[in-house]
Amino acid sequence: MEPSERSRRVLAALVREYISSGEPVPSSLLVSAAGLGVSSATVRNILSRLEEEGYVQQPHTSAGRIPTDRGYRFYVNLLLESTPSGRTADAVEARLRRDGNALADAVLSRASHVVSQASRNVGFVLQPAHDSAVFDRIEFVLLGGSRVLVVIVASGGHVLQKVIDTGEPLSADELRGAANYLNAELSGIPIQHARAAVIERINEERMLYDALAMRAMELAASSFTDLPRRHVLHVDGTSALFGGDHGLAMSAMHTLILMIEEKQRLVRLLNEYIDGVGLTVVIGAEHLDPSLRPFSLVASTYDDGMGTGTIGVIGPTRMHYSRAIAVVHGAATAVTRVLCDPISPNPRELS
């Protein structure tokens, strides 16, 4: 049953007070906090009904009440009814542009730090797996002997790296010449189709008469083989789990840290949760993985010009939801702006 208007106001006030203090909230405090102008006895009756309906619980007989996961869900739904202010997006955008590096990897790494710092939770950014990414340029870095680091940059500044063994030592000049040739030949080709294009050109008879071109194509054939297609996950602020009075058990924190370290387990979970554009909030018992029920997740999608990624935070169920929602929504908007328009002027920064 949906709470009445008076119950809604009492429940919202209780959730705000509990998030702020971490202590069970007595009815006497809610008389003024809910702003209803009713007696303490009336508030107690409202709380009794909310408890019967599963929105709040009383840890001890003599204590006040705390929200259940259902109570948090009600509160979050209230917050989601209004659109967050654009000021947060402007401020986050300024921070992301501050050091001038507009490559996607650098921007998204900074974004995970910004959302963690601003929300005081663990921040993450999940990049899309770009099967349709378009080749922009390639660079070869001599590591020693016959080992070469290949750096492939796709449109939008997305970077793929791998180490290849050329089978024979090559000079820096040879590698530079090969890179220049490939950058002229392959520009605009989807990366996942690049290897087929390279093999086709190797088989062309004219390639046999150009040693530089043949060397370049052989390097490219190795470079474009088995490129990583997995999502890249940036995570920041794990130490936030150990700060503050959030009531998390050490075992719960250990579970989340293990998931963050594994990364691909967290990627799979995010892919299951995110089924559309916009904000997603998962609270406590709503998690598919029972071991994550002490936590809540707030996430939103962003657009990098080629696909959709996810940015968000993970923290205790007693999370400051209004702040987390504003930060995540703002960061998703800011990341989209920076990646799709990397030369815009700097707006005002987040303080």
Instruction: Average the pLDDT over 172-194 and give the result.
Output: 87
On the question of pLDDT at 305 being above 60, the answer is yes
Beta partners for residue 135, in sequence order = 154
Selection from 277, 44, 237 nearest residue 123 by Cα: 237
Instruction: Match 């916009």 to its residue by tokens.
Output: 278
What pLDDT is recorded for position 70?
A: 96
The 3-state DSSP class for residue 322 equals helix
Per-residue pLDDT at 104 exceeds 90: no
Over residues 270-279, mean pLDDT: 84
**Residue 71 and residue 75: Cα distance in Å, rounded?**
6
What confidence score (pLDDT) does residue 130 get?
61
Cα distance between residue 289 and residue 339, in whole Å:
33
Any residues with CB less than 8 A from the CB of 307 and at least 6 apart, and which? 128, 129, 130, 132
Cα separation of 239 and 217, whole Å? Answer: 46
What average pLDDT does range 103-108 have in this prediction? 80
Spell out the domain ranges in the chain. 5-68, 87-129+230-340, 135-223
Query: Which of 163-167, 280-284, 335-339, 344-348 comes out lowest in average pLDDT?
Result: 344-348
Task: Say how many residues make up the chain.
Answer: 351
41-63 residue pLDDT tens: 888 899 999 999 999 999 887 77
The share of the chain scoring above pLDDT 70, in percent, equals 87
CA-CA-CA-CA dihedral for 288, 289, 293, 297, to nearest 10: -70
The Cα 301–Cα 39 span in angstroms is 45
**62 in the Ramachandran plot: left (φ > 0), alpha (ψ -120 to 50) or beta?**
alpha
Question: Which of 83-92, 148-157, 161-170, 204-213 is predicted with the least confidence, judged by mean pLDDT?
Answer: 204-213
CA distances from 211 to 27, 182, 202, 219 (A): 84, 13, 11, 12
Q: Could you tell me which of 306, 304, 308, 305 has the C-alpha nearest to residue 275?
A: 308
| H helical segments located in 224-298 | 250-262, 264-273
Angle among Cα 12, 18, 19 to the nearest 5 degrees reads 90
SS3 of residue 351 by DSSP: coil
Residue predicted with more confidence, 227 or 301:
301
pLDDT band at 208 (very low <50, low <70, confident <90, very high): low
**Fold of the CATH domain 5-68:** Arc Repressor Mutant, subunit A (1.10.10)
Is pLDDT larger for residue 345 or for residue 193?
193
* pLDDT, the chain, mean: 84
Find out if CATH 3.30.450.40 is the number for domain 87-129+230-340: yes
User: Would you identify the CATH topology of the domain 135-223?
Assistant: Enolase-like; domain 1 (3.30.390)
